[in-house]
């Protein structure tokens, strides 16, 4: 007759149980390490953040992006284009059309409209009638196509 060995009295059972726990912990540590390496690698390759936090952040960065682009162009051309956009808009109010006409005359030296004729009238920040009108009439597809990478390339983030 064979002697019956109960698991709680098996001299090797506790060692096997400890070995299983060590193996499980070792596997969990390897998985955690691989995950950490993947996260750090992604951060290093993509420079950390690779998308906008929300629509508001995208809008703000897009305006900064367009402002940077506008400052590289002839600002009087932007004023003229903004005025033409208003004059061509059948939904523009009479006061908007008058301001646009005054800006066109001012650009030709025929009138002092009192409207700053650049997107950056006081600082390097874009503001004022020319800037707001320029942004109002920009193609909405440009905003949709604007990416976080565009903001990074322009040095905005």
Write out pLDDT tens, residues 13-67. Answer: 556 666 677 666 657 656 565 565 554 444 444 445 679 999 999 999 999 999 9
**Closest alpha carbon to 135 in 81, 90, 91:** 81
pLDDT reported for residue 73:
84
Calculate the average pLDDT of the chain.
81
- What is the chain's alpha carbon radius of gyration, rounded to the nearest angstrom? 32
With pLDDT > 90 as the criterion, what percentage of the chain qualifies? 49
pLDDT digit string, tens, across residues 87-100: 999 999 999 999 99
106 Cβ contact partners less than 8 Å away, ≥ 6 residues apart: 112, 113, 115, 117
> What's the angle, vertex CA 8, arms to CA 7 and CA 11, rounded to 5?
80
pLDDT reported for residue 98:
97
pLDDT digit string, tens, across residues 66-92: 998 888 888 889 999 999 999 999 999
State the pTM of this model. Answer: 0.62
Residues in the chain: 157
Three-state secondary structure call for residue 75: helix
Contact 61, 156 (CB under 8 A): yes
């Amino acid at each position: 007759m064979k002697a019956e060995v109960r698991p709680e009295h098996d001299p090797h059972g506790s060692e096997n149980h400890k070995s299983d726990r060590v193996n499980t912990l070792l596997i969990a540590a390897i998985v955690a390490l691989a995950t950490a390496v993947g996260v750090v690698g992604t951060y290093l390759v993509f420079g950390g953040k690779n998308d906008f936090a929300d629509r508001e952040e995208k809008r703000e960065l897009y305006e900064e992006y367009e402002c940077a682009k506008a400052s590289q162009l002839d600002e009087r051309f932007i004023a003229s284009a903004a005025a033409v956009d208003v004059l061509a808009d059948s939904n523009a109010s009479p006061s908007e059309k008058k301001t646009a006409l005054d800006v066109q005359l001012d650009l030709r030296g025929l009138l002092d409209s009192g409207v700053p004729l650049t997107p950056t009238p006081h600082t390097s920040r874009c503001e004022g009638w020319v800037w707001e009108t320029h942004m109002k009439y920009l193609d909405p597809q440009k905003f949709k196509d604007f990416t976080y990478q565009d903001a990074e390339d322009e040095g905005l983030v």
